[in-house]
Structure 1
Amino acid sequence: MPPTNAFTHSDAFDEFNLEEFQSNDYYPKHYATPSSPKEKGGLFRLLKSIFISGKNKGADRKKAQSVPEYVFSRQVENHNFPTDIEDFPKPIRSLSAPANVYHGYSTYEDLLEIEKEQFEVRLLNVPESKSSELDYDLKRKIGVGSFGAVFLAENRNTREIHAVKEIAYASKAEKRYAEKERDHLFACSSPFIVSLVDFYYQEDSRICLVMEYLGTENLLRHLVQYGKLSEVLTKFYTSQIILAIEYMHNVNLIYRDLKPENIMITKDGYIKLVDLGLSKQADTTASLAGTLGYKAPEIVLGNMYTKAVDWWSLGIIIFEMLEGARCTPCQQLDGGVEYVLANSKRINFPASFPRTEVRDLISKFLKNSASRRLGSGPTGSADVKIHPWFHGFDWMGIYRKEITPPLPPLSKVPQYYKKKQPKRHRIGVLCH
């Protein structure tokens, strides 16, 4: 596929083929009895709409009877969480499957529109849990999230390996706050955001989120192992972070906790964002959130802020990937508890930093004024994807995971390449 600057191919997505679907080896014949659309209500009809062409949507929805009515019966009726994408026919995307396969849309804009509709429907229809702590065997702790520990776990029934995040709560308000992360994980469906598989409650004092297991390699460990990353590898990772942020902003989510620890590198060499504990569905907010070193100035100052805070964090991460040290746009006081903004008019890039368009990209992300920050304009992430640093970049190839990672999959990295690198140091980089 030739490189492109945007998702604008008229043939970007294949049309849904009913005959091919029915002849597929994974065709669920035991779910082949149609149910009345009227019995399913608006949820079922909207879910069927993912097969409808982006053109003439209103007229095409009337013809939706040709789409198999049992496609989503397992989720709508039984509220089961599919544990593997192979549970369904290959042309079909389940509600919380870890991979996205869309059909019938000719442009990326149509895709974003239906993704937003599906997110809103799933957010309002989170099923009740039918699992318990007896269904999962917690092996060992593998990480710590914003509000809880993460464990490696095995499903006692299927023997599948998952990551289980335990979130404790002591009041109804804390419980609802914990459930928001569950809701956002269930509603999100992006190839670059971790998928929710199941959830259960434990003694009415904690909620356990069962997610796909992505391994233990994150971007922070990557930087410790390899030091500075190449510009090619940095661009590869950055593009996927941009698509994940674009998805969340499209469904009106502010991530608010973008940092290397939350960027998991999977076995196929691609990345996925984890830990939506601080995500918030809002256009603007003033609540304090984020991690020191990655917070945007407006959060530091306690002002109202928008989705532009995520682009600031991305600018910090790009710098860190290329320099191997943390970019610090703010001067620290009292051991890092307080920040004051630097008044410099430019970023002081180290002499060793690549002299390419990436400098301009980082400078535009690290604007103290959120309204001047790249990605905060009316066209949002589209401005980011047409930046000169991404000239000729194959965005669709990244979205479909058709691009070979510049770094071999983790299972194929030679041991000598995993040697310990010198401990990273902090440097002060002043931003305007």
Structure 2
Amino acid sequence: MKLLIKYAGKRKRTIIDAEPNMLIGDLKKEIALRFRLIYVGFRLVYTICYNFKVLLTDSFPISFFEINHGSIIEVDVYGYQKILKKNKCRGSTYLESVGASIKYKIPEHTKFEDLIETCKLGNHRAFIMIAEMHSRMYPDEDILNQVHPSLWSPFHYACYYGISEITSYLVTKSVNVNRVTIDEWTPLQLASYMGHYNCVLSLTHHKNLQINKTTKFRGTPLHLACERNHKDIVKLLIDNLAFIILKDHNGMTPFDLTSDHEIHHLLAVAAGNEELRKCSEEKPENMIGHISLSSAFFIHNRKVILELNVEKGFLYQFSLEAYKEKTLPELTIKIGDIQDVRQEPNWFFSLKEEYNFVIETSNSTSRYSLKKKELTEEWVRRLKKAANYFILHPGGLDTDPHDTKANDMSIEDQKCMSKKPSIKEQELNLSSFEALDELGNGSFGTVLKVKKKTETEAGCEEPETFYAMKILSILSLQKKKQLKYAISEIKIMKRLNHPFILKLHYAFQDPKNVYMILEYCPNGDLLNLIQKKGRLDEQTSRFYISEIILALEYLHAKDIIYRDLKPSNILLDKEGHIKMADFGLAKENVNEMNPARTVAGSPAYLPPETLSESGTSKPADIYGLGALLYEMLTGYPPYYSKNIDMLFESIKNANLEFPSYVSASAKYFISAVMNRVPEKRPSLNALKHYLFFRKLDWDALLNKKIKPPKLVKAYTAYIQEDNFTS
């Protein structure tokens, strides 16, 4: 549609082509370019009726204000006069003249924007290609459920433009089909209003579709189809049990919105069938039980009580303590506000066989998990049934809201709640440990030497054991966008049990910090050992690199890549054996078909394929073995340079030079594993047969039957600061 833009107080005007779903903020950007204004230096005003004006809010779409084709929008520049000076640009304003420099930063273009653009152009093949590639490269990012600030999703755009192929694709991906935009549109409402029959047909196959969903200004999809006299869509909606008697925000039924006689006939027949269905309609059922609340940013799933109370019309989430003490719930959801209920697979790093489901409203998304598949399916069934019921009956059920029978817990639940856990079962927290010494600190937090406070139970006392407590500030992690790496590190380490990998004993969190209780290694790390000695002899280096190979072999068998092999991440335990630490950059489910795409690691140890962003998989760790052995033998990293650009250029193109004291077998090993072509690097199993490891008994090494080299006392470091990710 075309809008007439008038510059208030100036004899300037322009015509702009705009779409109904265009944000006012985007319209302002276009106007700023046309009139050479500063984005924050003006506002837009629209006259609804005689002498009644409204201010257009940046984050809302044009359609929210019921602006139509040919509408006049006024530009109000806050009364400031433009000041033109010879030594200033023509875009200068009063604000700049008094020293208030204001710049509007245009958001960078994203893959989500590319996705929407292909949708607008109707290029469904490009849309699917972008979505599938993004899913493979970033499996933890759900691009299909992303939204603009106006809450328009790919589903809304596909239905607005009538791209049925994209709509069908999104249906197969179980994308949220009931999401309501700021201007009160669902995908089905858009398709019904615009007359896109094939899109409506595809949407009716979505298992979570709420066909009678009513929004504040739009009514149901049937209202909109009747208003536009889309006869075929009206019939399709009726065939899929769209209700006839529902009223829109103006109190109108679908009958009142159409003048088409054939549609009237369809509605009349459907109304009779609707009355028959209502007689046999089953009311939704209550449900209550223990359930696990889960999140990608939770170290542990948290047990809660979930209660579906159809008498009151709400879904309640209680903490165990709140339910026991009969206090207020921590989350209350109006059943009629539920937009989507769907089952989802486990997180990649989940250790247990769990069955998950998601409850989504316009304001929140809650994820729950259960151990039984049948119970999960029952929760989903009852929630869907209740949500659909409350669309048709917003007043709820005609039962006594004070009836407490629905709130009673089962006998099994009451026993579980009243049972006092043993000391070992109780959840650990900061007060469970006594701090003894500080081992290190950094921008994210501190590492302390601690011991667990023991309690006597049945005359037994736990033996005294020392741990390293890694305390990470959640605020600092969030500021540097590192929180997900910290949580991922914990979840990966919980899976690991190997003699040459640092053991994570416990992990917990509070509102301020994440705490990791790690195995205590009193003999420092390889970096300190190298710095103390200058460089390591070949026999010592062979021993350490052999134990690292066994640790990597264990990780790769679990499809985990480490991505950060360097001396400071290799700790030495009290006996002198290595312990691989710091799994912040480790990544799960990585193989040749699903490489890691992010650039992650420490600059001096990055393999060429990571620098070229062609994907990182297990061969990257094998490359790291060569870089690590080179530093142990020489005292400095390969291609070392203080200039990072020169360093990266050398990693990609330079020949690696060896000091004369490095043996031929060590040179051959390092050259083989640091081959610039990942596919040409030897496997870990093949490395065991290299001449460099002649006569080494790998089984004896794994069982710690080979005595470690004599140690030099070194300083222990548990926090590393020189990693980077992008």
Does the pair score TM above 0.5? yes
Structure 1 position 253, deviation (Å) = 0.6
Q: Paired residue for 1:225, among 520, 532, 547? A: 532
Partner of 2:468: 163
Percent sequence identity over matched residues? 29
Partner of 1:135: 432
Which of structures 1 and 2 has the larger relative contact order (alpha carbons within 8 angstroms, sep 6+)?
Answer: 1
Q: For 1:128 and 1:287, locate their aligned partners in 2 and report how far apart those are by CA, in whole Å.
A: 39
Q: Taking structure 1 as reference, are residues 342 and 120 closer, same or farther at Cα in structure 2, changes over 3 Å only? A: closer
Q: For 1:222 and 1:124, locate their aligned partners in 2 and report how far apart those are by CA, in whole Å.
A: 43
Q: Following superposition of structure 1 onto structure 2, how do residues 167-178 of structure 1 map, counting pairs within 5 Å?
A: 167-170=472-475, 175-178=483-486
Q: Taking structure 1 as reference, are residues 347 and 334 closer, same or farther at Cα in structure 2, changes over 3 Å only? A: closer
Partner of 1:349: 658
Cα distance per residue 1:337-360 (max 9 Å; x no partner): 86554534x432122222x31110
Structure 1 position 147, deviation (Å) = 5.4
One-letter amino acid of the counterpart of residue 674, structure 2:
L
Q: Indicate conservation of the 8 Å contact 1:169/1:178, yes or no.
A: no
One-letter amino acid of the counterpart of residue 347, structure 1:
L
Cα distance per residue 1:375-394 (max 9 Å; x no partner): 2xxxxx11111112112210
TM-score normalised by the chain length of structure 2: 0.36
Partner of 1:365: 673
Q: Paired residue for 1:278, among 580, 585, 598? A: 585
Q: Taking structure 1 as reference, are residues 215 and 342 closer, same or farther at Cα in structure 2, changes over 3 Å only? A: same
Q: Following superposition of structure 1 onto structure 2, how do residues 304-323 of structure 1 map, counting pairs within 5 Å?
A: 304-323=615-634
Partner of 1:110: none
2:461 is the alignment partner of 1:150: no
Q: Taking structure 1 as reference, are residues 324 and 129 closer, same or farther at Cα in structure 2, changes over 3 Å only? A: farther
Q: For 2:445 and 2:585, locate their aligned partners in 1 and report how far apart those are by CA, in whole Å.
A: 12
Q: Indicate conservation of the 8 Å contact 2:639/2:647, yes or no.
A: no
Structure 1 position 179, deviation (Å) = 2.2
Structure 1 position 267, deviation (Å) = 1.8
One-letter amino acid of the counterpart of residue 539, structure 2:
V
One-letter amino acid of the counterpart of residue 390, structure 1:
F
1:210 aligns to what SS in structure 2? strand
Structure 1 position 146, deviation (Å) = 9.7
2:488 is the alignment partner of 1:180: yes
Cα distance per residue 1:299-321 (max 9 Å; x no partner): 12222121111111110111111
TM-score normalised by the chain length of structure 1: 0.60
Q: For 1:180 and 1:402, locate their aligned partners in 2 and report how far apart those are by CA, in whole Å.
A: 33
2:694 is the alignment partner of 1:391: yes
One-letter amino acid of the counterpart of residue 186, structure 1:
K
Q: For 2:442 and 2:600, locate their aligned partners in 1 and report how far apart those are by CA, in whole Å.
A: 14
Structure 2: give runs of 5+ residues left out of the alignment.
1-299, 301-347, 355-423, 455-461, 715-726
CA RMSD of aligned residues (A): 3.1
Q: For 2:653 and 2:482, locate their aligned partners in 1 and report how far apart those are by CA, in whole Å.
A: 39
One-letter amino acid of the counterpart of residue 701, structure 2:
I
Q: Taking structure 1 as reference, are residues 136 and 290 closer, same or farther at Cα in structure 2, changes over 3 Å only? A: same
Structure 1 position 183, deviation (Å) = 1.3
Cα distance per residue 1:27-50 (max 9 Å; x no partner): xxxxxxxxxxxxxxxxxxxxxxxx
Partner of 1:294: 605
* Corresponding pairs, count: 285
One-letter amino acid of the counterpart of residue 467, structure 2:
H
Q: Indicate conservation of the 8 Å contact 2:639/2:651, yes or no.
A: no
2:658 aligns to what SS in structure 1? coil
Q: Indicate conservation of the 8 Å contact 2:652/2:676, yes or no.
A: no
One-letter amino acid of the counterpart of residue 400, structure 1:
N
Cα distance per residue 1:31-77 (max 9 Å; x no partner): xxxxxxxxxxxxxxxxxxxxxxxxxxxxxxxxxxxxxxxxxxxxxxx
Q: For 1:366 and 1:250, locate their aligned partners in 2 and report how far apart those are by CA, in whole Å.
A: 21
Q: For 1:368 and 1:304, locate their aligned partners in 2 and report how far apart those are by CA, in whole Å.
A: 13
One-letter amino acid of the counterpart of residue 504, structure 2:
L
Q: Taking structure 1 as reference, are residues 403 and 123 closer, same or farther at Cα in structure 2, changes over 3 Å only? A: farther
Q: For 1:254 and 1:129, locate their aligned partners in 2 and report how far apart those are by CA, in whole Å.
A: 33
Partner of 2:376: none
The structure with the largest alpha-carbon Rg is 2
Q: Indicate conservation of the 8 Å contact 1:199/1:210, yes or no.
A: yes
Cα distance per residue 1:201-222 (max 9 Å; x no partner): 12x2321010111115110111
Structure 1 position 129, deviation (Å) = 7.5
Q: Following superposition of structure 1 onto structure 2, how do residues 397-412 of structure 1 map, counting pairs within 5 Å?
A: 397-405=700-708, 407-408=709-710, 410=711
Q: Indicate conservation of the 8 Å contact 1:139/1:153, yes or no.
A: yes
Q: For 2:607 and 2:426, locate their aligned partners in 1 and report how far apart those are by CA, in whole Å.
A: 37
Q: For 1:141 and 1:335, locate their aligned partners in 2 and report how far apart those are by CA, in whole Å.
A: 36
